Chain A
Amino acid sequence: MSELDHRFAVRVTGLGKRYRIGLRFDREDSLFLTAARTLAAPVRNFRNLRRLRVFSDDEEPDVIWALRDVGFELERGEVLGVVGRNGAGKSTLLKILSRVTEPTTGTAQMRGRVASLLEIGTGFHPDLTGRENVFLNGTMHGMTRREVAARFDEIVEFAELEQFIDTQVKRYSSGMYVRLAFAVAAHLHPDVLLTDEVLAVGDAQFQQKCLGRMREVAGSGRTVIFVSHNRSAVSSLCTRAIWLENGRMAADGAVDDVLARYHESLLVGTDAELVHRADRQGDGRIRIVGISFRDSSGERMQTATAGSEVDIVLAYESGNERPVRGVSVTLILDSATGHRLATISNDFSGEDFGELPPVGELICSLRLPLTGGTYVWSIKARVGGGLADRVMDAAVLSVDGSEFYPTRRAPDIQAGELLLDYRWAAAEATFARGRESNAGTIGR
């Protein structure tokens, strides 16, 4: 560890993890049977036992690489976001970094004390009081008794559990439990903090508090690796991100770039193949089967020009092949980093489609005053107020923001997603004073 370059807090090279899926099923679970088989067929059984840890070089069908050739370096104080679909290997990466499991190939080096929060509240014991659990949990994460004692008051205050700290945690509400668990974790003061989906618990207010605390930890020069499906949390917390796809690194770079690319990948082909999306919600009385974007002359487009008119064309089918009434459609616009920008619906604008034929198109015309980048649309359809169809992340649209202002210059997406239509003017000083007195009048 000592020869590690001083600038680096984490160095991962060629990391791979192989799992044998179905491991639990094809191996004998019983020592008795294993022994009996060993006596009956010693050679084959020895091979079976070794298979658990030793993998032959040729690919076997029941083996998967949960992680393959992953490499990156983090400097002290860097905050890395890790994104990827379910099963991409994010948790596996953190398990290796936290030494819970060993890599099959490669190495992971860390400088300083590492604390990992792979699941909030692990190891809390229901029969122990809050106080005892704080000590048990803190020391389990590598703190000494004295360190826990020194931070004890801070932890209890953060959890807002002063009155309940000597109560057994089995009498806690689930919210109290999670608050205490996070409070312990948030006060570990490690050099490297690894967190996996920690914001997935608790109510919105608590999540906000956790995020704030994570920001503080990150701001205090600690190295943080943050795994989350919450794109806006990743983009607001992290400076850098890696995207894992089937165990491999698909991208590594500035957080907004990586998030945008990751997001695009989620949507590849979706606008053409919306009809095949199976992850829908709703009763299906109407289904949105296609989405496309057209310019004013009716040409399909991949990239919209900021400020010019766009038609969003939704192809629909009614569930029972009969005309439908009372349809309302909502389009939700998110930035690639997960910020919700707008929700548009014919309900708000008061437009009624009347009776719709069994198959047809719904067209929404609008102008998009957006900075250049990629944007994501989700769709909801209701019939008579009941949810009929919902497709999240249904389509992606690129926007070119460069033509919005006459100068052909525009801020980039880091400066905000919106391009507003504005005018400047200069006025005499009296104007400003007049406004001041006006404000005074309103105030009174």
Chain B
Amino acid sequence: MHDLLTYRDFLYFLVRRDIRARYTQTVLGVGWAVLQPLLTMIVFSIFFGRLADIPSSGVPYPVFSLAAVVPWTYFANSAGYAANSLVSNQQILSKVYFPRFLIPASPIGGGVLDLAIALTILLGVMAGFGFFPTVPNVLLLPVLVLALVIVTTGVGLWLAALAIQYRDVRYTTPFLLQLWLFLTPIIYPLSVIPSDLRWLYSLNPMTGVIDGFRVALLETGAVQWSSLALSFIVGTVLLVSGARYFNRIERVFADIA
């Protein structure tokens, strides 16, 4: 805890560095934070909305998918960057001491900026389709962002600590995240899952978060409190166990790096 205070400025500059590295090295700069969810939305709308005619809880498929793609993009990108973070910072890890969790924390914290930009775009697209968030539901948003960050941090810590020990983790992470996307109500609504299986399905902590985003912004149905509660519970378990595992492995980072 004392360490965190000492090194909080380092976290700030680390986040800045990661954001800068991401934006200045690319043709479009900040544009990617906007384009990535938008392009995903367009592709999903054409293939799943139009061609496959997947139900979208009574709202136009583009807004239906974008409301899910925005938080999912944050999760997938941040967890992916976190998985790589220790490996790509190995050199510093073996030379300088600072609390190690700052390294995966940086992309998770920095991703919040992308999330904010993407949420603004989402509100714009919603307005274009005549949707405006209304009061009781939209208040759920901060709670959902909190759940999202908890789940992302938990998964990110696990992946980071595993990736520095096992080479294959880094290469299979994108694939696993791809599978995970299909196991989460992103291209289809939660309602297609039979209700007696929903608790099982909601053990995936992203289920409650993603469905929550739709309910909060598009009022696609009633809040699934049990799914949301499961998101928090599973997310916290991931976070606590991830932090403990990370702590244990942390001591040998410098030796195996």
| A contact residues vs B (CB 8 Å cutoff) | 19, 23-24, 28-32, 34, 52-53, 95, 98-102, 116, 118-119, 122-123, 125, 127-128, 132, 135-136, 139-145
Contact = CB atoms under 8 A, between A and B. Distances in A.
Given A19-B255, A52-B252, A100-B94, A30 B16 contact: no
B97 A98 contact: yes
Contact of B96 (A98, A132, A145): A98
B17 A125 contact: yes
Contacts of B256: 23-24, 52
Interface string B230-257: 0000000000000000000001101110
Q: Which of B9, B14, B168 has the most chain A CB within a 10 Å cutoff?
A: B9
Contacts of A31: 162, 165-166, 168-169
Given A100-B254, A119-B95, A122-B91, 15 more contacts: A19-B255, A34-B166, A95-B94, A118-B96, A122-B92, A127-B24, A127-B25, A132-B17, A136-B13, A136-B14, A139-B9, A141-B96, A142-B7, A142-B98, A145-B13
19 contacts: A19-B255, A29-B166, A30-B167, A31-B165, A31-B168, A32-B168, A32-B172, A52-B252, A99-B97, A101-B251, A102-B251, A116-B95, A116-B96, A118-B96, A123-B91, A127-B25, A136-B16, A142-B6, A145-B9
Nearest to A34: B166
Contact of A128 (B20, B167, B169): B20
A144 B12 CA distance: 11
Interface in B167-181: 167-169, 172
Given A19-B255, A145-B9, A140 B17 contact: no
Contacts of A99: 97
B74 to A, nearest CB: 23
Interface of B: 6-7, 9-10, 12-14, 16-17, 20-21, 24-25, 91-98, 162, 165-169, 172, 251-252, 254-256
Contacts of A127: 20-21, 24-25
A32 B93 CA distance: 25
Would you list the 5 A-B pairs with minimal beta carbon distance, nearest first? A31-B166, A139-B10, A99-B97, A145-B9, A101-B254
Contacts of B162: 31
Nearest to A113: B6
A119 B90 CA distance: 13
A29 B167 contact: yes
B9 A118 contact: no
A132 B255 contact: no
Contacts of A145: 9, 12-13
A95 B254 contact: yes
Q: Which of A118, A123, A128 has the most chain B CB within a 10 Å cutoff?
A: A123
Q: Which of B7, B10, B14 has the most chain A CB within a 10 Å cutoff?
A: B10
B109 to A, nearest CB: 15
Contact of B255 (A34, A101, A119, A136): A101
A118 B14 contact: no
Contacts of A118: 95-96
B68 to A, nearest CB: 29
Contacts of B169: 31
A140 B96 CA distance: 8
Contact of B166 (A30, A52, A144): A30
Nearest to A123: B92
Contacts of A119: 95
Given A31-B169, A122-B91, A127-B24, A100 B17 contact: no
A84 B111 CA distance: 47
A100 B97 contact: yes
Contacts of A142: 6-7, 10, 98
A61 B9 CA distance: 45
Contacts of A122: 91-92, 95-96
A135 B255 CA distance: 27
A309 B63 CA distance: 98
A132 B16 contact: yes
Contact of B13 (A24, A100, A101, A139): A139
A53 B255 CA distance: 10
Nearest to B92: A123
B22 to A, nearest CB: 10
Contacts of A29: 166-168
A123 B7 contact: no
Nearest to A147: B9
A29 to B, nearest CB: 5
Nearest to B14: A136
Contacts of A98: 96-97
